[in-house]
Structure 1
């Protein structure tokens, strides 16, 4: 090899190292949104023991303290997705960080049940926004080979946030204790919120968002920060092909795309994936593990400490899942996870039917941990990757908002009904019901979910368009309507 070729190869390797580092840095800063997502959904499980006594909550009120955040999250996902389509992914995450800071402080100092609920609903808006936008942003800046791993950094931060919440809850409970200790538990989340706000000023905007707006020069500039130079022109060319025009899409124009059969099919598929993830029952464990363990004979402090095992297994499971997702087909991972979830939920249901004893309590904890492994390793890791991969470029934020709205709504229903169901029919029948629901989820996975591993986002969009379009679909009509809505000229035939 000549010295010039060797220098060229070394330069190319150096450039690749630079863009990989840049992708990792941008993804890591964005995933502080995932950390907040995890912490704010996980911290309530330990804080609830103290809030319940401090504010004298009924079973229904107790469930609403948990689930009110989820109401805000459902709407936050919808508005966050639309906002991200209009103003960009970075701006949306900056705004979410500000909401996190204000709502976290408000919930921590809330003197009454009403103000606590209001603060957590507003906090939910930020949680929902980051849950929709962070995976989408990371997916859009990553190449197809690293997409699964980088998107799952967010899932790692989510379960990491839940584990941090479990650990801090146990430490604060044992060292501080006393009235109002839950305020410290809730207030700590202001720290990662500040990191997210600052970090979003040091990452590039999504090049695919620029492309969806027809701003291809800015897309190319953004790509140069996260791709090697030789990849920029080919990627922009494929983006143009997938975008099929340069018009913008604001207001009601996003809804016009739902007239297309292939778009409706993909959005409905995303909704199905979101529901599948929630009917596993994962959040009955995340939100109610300490309460459930108390019912089996654990003391309050012991239940909080035992819950750390659940959080730790979540982190371990995601780390294993991040390794597998680059090697194993997405649909196969989902199916394996669902089979494991069905078995562990069934065994959990049977364990609750056993006579009261110390052994029964630890057996229930064991099957909770096994369940979390299968759910987090094989289902949650795949869910967020699939949602970030399959949706159309031009309305990705809008469509992601719809799917995640359904996800959070299902989360709310499960979380609100769980304490009511367990009180009415008992834990054994409740967990048995989740086992049955997951049988239907497994059938949906095997019959409906496509394989996306190894394909670029643009390749997937073109594939879905060809496979699910019908002859009467006319994208030109939609584009012209959009152009009229936005006072811009329709794309020329050459642009299509």
Structure 2
């Protein structure tokens, strides 16, 4: 086999040409949109599914249908790293896109009343969701020039919430179909963006960083020639080689026990704790169940309350754009403290009002939830992953970031499963008051256990933890 053929195979059979940066970022961003769409689509589909399958009294079944996706994502996120190291970032994204499309279609043709089938398919879909949540940002970071990598966290968050908003808009547009066709169309429709992602990524090359790790320097040089100016190719290739060698040396002397050494334990607790608090604070209870929340607070049926997810989606998108504008102007801990405090108060106030004024309009809770979403969208939602990227030194970064991601998905699964069960046994303002207390505990955790990372080197952060 010729060298040229080997290069072509390694780069995904892509001919040597300049690839517009916008093309790479569009389909990288499209992965975030697909990820967000699959997180949000059940919000619109669930009221119709509940009506079609008579699930109104089955709180556990509702919780499992919703949360099975997050349970799958725990495994998908954990497996994606090994898969991408074996077959490459690009091919792993293609595999995830295929699972997205297949699982979405299988959900759309679920047998009537097939609760177990639905839960299993949602778990299967979650494998792709968890994988995409790790693979897409990593691929974009490895393809983008250094000067743009700092913006990718905020951009990825914007794309995810845009995908959620898209799913809410699709649900709103399909609500006038028959009950059965409405939820089936919403779930199966996720196959369309998955196919678009597959076709787009099919035209992209493999990450040069992966190729260097595999010893395919000619192939890596070929990819860099597509996406970098000629004078930047060799310096970046040398930098990738240096980093790969450093990471190889680090991996050889690192194990899971390293995370619990005294010099790193402080940072691991901080990063994993913030990732867990982001979910246990209850944000996903709003995103998954807002139509049911509105139904419980008013006389409007859940399948007629689909404008509320759109309102929450617009708030999320605007908040993510605000974060991009202010991310480097304020300290991380200050933003988390502000967000967590307002979020906690927004959850606790409805319970106080319900106790002090029993005749108050119950829709007040929806107003306070909107305030919660607004502050969550530019503080805890994006900053969690900024901190995870900044807190961990290279020697523990891979394992610690993986642990933080796992705890985040565990929290998302727990909230998705428990919320309908909790609201079936107590008033929903009481449930949100519990989440409000967790928000305030999160603020206390940030103030006492999380170091400030803005404008500080990893060495300075690590030294603080050793004191």
Q: Summarize the Cα distance change of 1:194–1:24 in structure 2 as closer, same or farther, 3 Å threshold.
A: same
- Decide which of 13, 23, 42 is 2:40's aligned counterpart: 42
Deviations 1:142-195 (A, max 9, x none): 45543343232221121112112222212211x313334210111111111011
- Decide which of 143, 166, 169 is 2:171's aligned counterpart: 169
Q: Distance in 2 between matches of 1:346 and 1:169?
A: 30
What corresponds to 1:332 in structure 2?
A: 334
Equivalence map 1:127-276=2 (5 Å): 127-143=129-145, 145-173=147-175, 175-210=176-211, 222-232=223-233, 235-236=236-237, 239=240, 242-245=243-246, 247=248, 256=255, 258-259=257-258, 261=261, 266-276=267-277
TM-score when normalising by structure 2 = 0.83
Q: Judge conservation of contact 1:27–1:150 (CA < 8 Å) in 2.
A: no
Q: Distance in 1 between matches of 2:396 and 2:227?
A: 23
Q: Summarize the Cα distance change of 1:179–1:73 in structure 2 as closer, same or farther, 3 Å threshold.
A: same
Q: Distance in 2 between matches of 1:212 and 1:267?
A: 27
Equivalence map 1:9-20=2 (5 Å): none
Q: Summarize the Cα distance change of 1:338–1:220 in structure 2 as closer, same or farther, 3 Å threshold.
A: farther
What corresponds to 1:375 in structure 2?
A: 376
TM-score when normalising by structure 1 = 0.79
Q: Distance in 1 between matches of 2:393 and 2:211?
A: 14
Q: Distance in 2 between matches of 1:206 and 1:98?
A: 20
**Which range is displaced more, 137-146 or 35-44?**
137-146
- Secondary structure of the equivalent of 1:425? coil
Q: Judge conservation of contact 1:68–1:121 (CA < 8 Å) in 2.
A: yes
* Cα shift at 1:38: 1.5
* Cα shift at 1:136: 2.8
How many correspondences in the alignment? Answer: 443
**Which range is displaced more, 120-129 or 240-249?**
240-249
* Cα shift at 1:427: 1.7
Q: Judge conservation of contact 1:99–1:123 (CA < 8 Å) in 2.
A: yes
Q: Distance in 2 between matches of 1:103 and 1:242?
A: 37
What corresponds to 1:481 in structure 2?
A: none
Q: Summarize the Cα distance change of 1:306–1:176 in structure 2 as closer, same or farther, 3 Å threshold.
A: same
Q: Summarize the Cα distance change of 1:217–1:349 in structure 2 as closer, same or farther, 3 Å threshold.
A: farther
Q: Summarize the Cα distance change of 1:109–1:365 in structure 2 as closer, same or farther, 3 Å threshold.
A: same
Q: Distance in 2 between matches of 1:217 and 1:22?
A: 21
What corresponds to 2:14 in structure 1?
A: none
**Which range is displaced more, 194-203 or 208-217?**
208-217
Q: Distance in 2 between matches of 1:296 and 1:414?
A: 20
Deviations 1:241-296 (A, max 9, x none): 5545474999xx79736536466665544322311211221101001110011001
Q: Summarize the Cα distance change of 1:226–1:446 in structure 2 as closer, same or farther, 3 Å threshold.
A: farther
Q: Does 1:409 align with 2:383?
A: no
What corresponds to 2:352 in structure 1?
A: 350
Q: Judge conservation of contact 1:135–1:385 (CA < 8 Å) in 2.
A: no
* Cα shift at 1:333: 2.7
Deviations 1:47-71 (A, max 9, x none): 1112112222211111111111111
Q: Distance in 2 between matches of 1:129 and 1:33?
A: 11
Q: Does 1:77 align with 2:80?
A: no
Q: Summarize the Cα distance change of 1:214–1:378 in structure 2 as closer, same or farther, 3 Å threshold.
A: farther
Q: Judge conservation of contact 1:28–1:153 (CA < 8 Å) in 2.
A: no
* Cα shift at 1:348: 3.7
Q: Summarize the Cα distance change of 1:450–1:79 in structure 2 as closer, same or farther, 3 Å threshold.
A: same
* Cα shift at 1:344: 1.7
* Cα shift at 1:305: 1.9
* Cα shift at 1:300: 2.9
Q: Distance in 1 between matches of 2:88 and 2:395?
A: 12
